[in-house]
Amino acid sequence: MTDSEIRAVVLREIGKIAPEADLEQIEPTVNLREQLDIDSMDALNIMIGIHEATGVDIPEADYPQMTTLHRCVAYLRARIKGG
C-alpha cells in the first residue's frame, strides 16, 4: 500500500466513527482526538476499524504512536507488507 492508500483507509475509518468531521480539513500533524473532538471510545473504534481494514495488529500500547494522521500513516506503512 502507498502512503496515499493508507491515508485513505485511515480517513475512511475516521469518517465511519465521526461522520460529521470534514475529512478534507484534517491537519496531518495535529492530534486527531483534539481535531475531531472525540472521546477515548471513538478513538478505540477508529483503531479497531483501521485494524480490520488493513489487517495490522495495533496493540493498545502503540496507540500513542498514532495520535496524528501523519503518525498513523507512518505506523501502518512500517507494518503493512509490500508497503
pLDDT per position as a tens digit, 25-74: 999 999 999 999 999 999 999 999 999 999 999 999 999 999 999 999 99
Evaluate whether 22 touches 61 at the Cβ level (below 8 Å): no
How far, in whole angstroms, is CA 67 from its chain's centroid? 8
The pTM (predicted TM-score) of the whole model is 0.92
User: Considering only the top CATH level, what class is 3-79?
Assistant: mainly alpha
CA separation for the pair 72, 83 (Å, rounded): 14
How far, in whole angstroms, is CA 23 from its chain's centroid? 12
What are the domain boundaries of the chain? 3-79
Residue 82 has pLDDT above 60, yes or no: no
Residue 20 has pLDDT above 70, yes or no: yes
